[in-house]
Structure 1
Amino acid sequence: MVKSHGKKQRARQKAARTGAAYASAAAGTTHEHTPLPDMAVLEKLPHNAGRKLDLELAARLVAACRIRCQPCQRTLAGKLRAEQRPTLAALAAAIYAALPSPGFVASPTTQAWAPLARAGKTDPAVAAEALAAVEEMDDRAASDLLEDALDHWALGGASAEEIADMVTVVPEAPPRQRPADPTDAYREAGIKVVTLDDLDLGDVDTYHLAPAYGVMPMQTSTPDGRPMPMLLLYPESEGAGIEDLEARTDWEHWGLHGMPDMDPLWRLRARIADRSLQGLVHVGPAGEDDVELWRAAESVSLPAHWWDLLDRVQHIVVVGPVAEPEAPGALEAAGGAGELLAVVARVSFR
């Protein structure tokens, strides 16, 4: 009995140490996938928030993925989800903090979590928030995040140098251009500048003083394949373009992969009576329209199928600018060149 008990105890310890199933450990049929990748780079990420990581478990799981050993993947992944959420967060952050977008094929869980991973790379508070989000996930969500991350790890190099390159080389979006206010230069030179805000003119409509855009209703898909309405902006006057949008919005650069961030303060206003779009605005802290980016010159009823989609989703991808929106491949070309800004806005029906 003592001998049998000792054997069982050693098998449990071996299973816990290697991540193998208890039956395999007891039968002495465990195997290892070598060489194991060096995962020490995970400890350098802020997303572990100082928590202890199981680097050996992570290395065994990645090694099993690279040679497509399904039994070991299932066992090790289950152990990681159940016992090592900080390690799971670090594995996922090593990928998604280094990608500008999780991509269309990523699960909804990963789509929602990836922006935290990116922001957490430079902000420890957000990195801790990303870890907390992983720890609060149910098993299904954690499994989706882990599977998405492992798809990337399975393609990575096995050496420590290659892993470090994969983690530290971050494809950056083109830097946002915030044009300097030319009136600042005049003020510095001692010239008095009077703006419309300085004049007591009552309620003045300044919409037509700013660069103008047109809009084109379109349709895209979410990463999980659901249809999503999209509104394409194109310049209609001098000064309209990406520099103007960068100056007037905080939209992110978007390469047509994944979904841009959602900002509920951006509203696309739609009128139910005639199924038409009325305007695109940003709502300020007091509920006022502090940015009016587009206003309909006339009411045009939208196709029934597009209006029904808008009504069902009640959010819309707004993207632009594209100089020639009807030209074949123009949108894709602008996205590939890093010349698109985008946001997911709310639809406000009236």
Structure 2
Amino acid sequence: MVKKHGKKQRARQKSRRTGAAYASASAGTTHEHTPLPDMAVLEDLPHHSGRKLDTELAARLVAACHAQCRPCQKTLARKLRTEQRPTLVALAAAIYGTLPTPGFIASSTTKEWAPLARAGKTDPAAAAAALAAVEAMDDASASDLLEDTLDHWAMVNADPAQITETVKVVHDAPPRQRPANPMDAFRAAGVKVFTLDDLDLGDDVDRYHLQANYGVYVGATNTPDGQDFPMLTLYPETEDAGIEDLERRTDWEHWGLHGMPDMDPRWRLRARIADRSLQGLVHVDAHGRDDIELWRASETVSMPDAWWDLLDRAQHALIVGPSEPEALQDTADEGKLLAVVARVSFV
């Protein structure tokens, strides 16, 4: 009896130490997802307000996410949110301290907490408030924040250098740089440059065909919670269309096919109810006027009933590009895939 009790006690201690389930610890079947990322860099963040972090636990949890090991994720996540709220704060702040918005698919808990993470980069009071808010959360709210956070950490390469870079960007993330306008070189050399705006041609000129144009492929994807979601893939239709053009004309984020990009309500996918067709993809200014047109339907094509019904339910669509559908993964791996979630405007 004493021997069996001692074995149980050692299993419980191993379970607490490793984060493994008690049954696994008892059976000696615990495992590690290697290589473990070096998460000690989380201690550089201000959001934990000097509280002690369990960086080893954070490393095991991130590694389990990369390995897509649900049992380990579940066990380690439970330990993190019940025993290590400061570590949860650091993991979450490393992500949401860098993002301009948490994204429309984030939980309400994350949406409410994310502004504190962003403000905490430079404001010690906000950093302390971010920690206090998480420590005051009930288990359900803490679970929501952690789940949203891990969706993002799953996208970060487990290489130590990449982990370090992810955390460093919280402190001094530079603004996204648009590609240089080639006309600026002419202006700097004293060459007079005229644009369409300078010529003041009014509304008589259709500028769409004077700029880079794209074609679209219709498809669907899944949100992180498993919901079907409509998707359009843009591919270059003119020689000047491509990643540099999209980076110059949009603020879309680089996307790695994980999670979902942010929603920008000024990007509109126009759809005509009468014939269930797509009309175009535009960006509108503060007054609701079109200021960017990336795609315009050249002919009327009615969408399949199932896809149209999905569009009607979602009222939004994921827009990605520039890429051919079969090359999405390769394009994303090269860091050349941009994405945004646009509103659907039914006309």
* TM band (smaller chain): 0.5 to 0.7
Answer yes or no: is the 8 Å Cα contact 2:39–2:163 preserved in 1: no
Identity %: 60
Aligned to 1:347: 344
* 2:286 corresponds to 1:288: no
DSSP-derived class of the 2:180 partner: coil
Contact 2:221–2:230 under 8 Å retained in 1: yes
* Deviation, structure 1 residue 120: 4.5
Q: What is residue 145 of structure 1 aligned with on the other side? A: 145
Partners in 2 of 1:97 and 1:178 — Cα distance? 22
The number of aligned residues is 293
**Residue type of the partner of 1:308?**
D
Mapped partners of 2:252, 2:188: distance in 1: 30
Judged with a 3 Å threshold, the aligned counterparts in structure 2 of structure 1 residues 256 and 121 are, in CA distance, closer, same or farther, namely farther
Distance 1:307 1:149, change over 3 A: closer
Q: 1:164 to 1:304 in 2, by over 3 A?
A: closer
* In structure 1, distance between residues paired with 2:246 and 2:183: 19
Written as runs of structure 1 = structure 2, the 5 A alignment for 1:26-105 is: 31=13, 41-48=41-48, 51-55=49-53, 58=54, 77-80=81-84, 84=85, 86-94=86-94
Distance 1:243 1:122, change over 3 A: farther
* Alpha-carbon distance in 2 for matches of 1:194, 1:284: 23
Match in the other structure for 2:187: 187
Q: RMSD of aligned C-alpha atoms?
A: 4.7
In structure 2, the residue matched to 1:313 is 314
Gaps of 5+ in 2: 1-10, 20-35, 65-70, 170-174
- Rounded to whole Å, the distance in 1 between the matches of 2:271 and 2:315 is 10
- Once the two structures are TM-superposed, the CA of residue 210 in structure 1 deviates from its matched residue by 0.4
- Is this contact kept in 1: 2:235–2:322, CA < 8 A? yes
Aligned to 1:335: 332
Kindly state the Cα deviation for residue 87 of structure 1 after the two structures are TM-superposed.
Answer: 4.4
Higher CA-based Rg: 1
Residues 222 and 258 of structure 1 are in contact (CA less than 8 Å); yes or no, is this contact kept in structure 2?
Answer: yes
| TM-score normalised to structure 2 length | 0.67
Query: Does 1:240 find its partner at 2:241?
Result: yes
1:124 aligns with 2:122: yes
Q: Which amino acid aligns with 1:168?
A: T
Distance 1:182 1:61, change over 3 A: closer
Cα shift at 1:192:
1.9
C-alpha displacement of 1:186:
2.1
SS of 1:225 mapped into structure 2 = coil
Aligned to 1:168: 164
Per-residue deviation, 1:331: 2.1
- The alpha carbon displacement at 1:63 in A equals 10
| Structure 2 CA distance for aligned equivalents of residues 74 and 262 of structure 1 | 30
SS at match of 1:53: coil
Matching residue of 1:201 = 201
Closer, same or farther: CA 35–255 of 1 in aligned 2, 3 Å: closer
How far is the alpha carbon of 1:198 from its aligned partner?
1.3
**What is the TM-score when the length of structure 1 is the normalising length?**
0.66
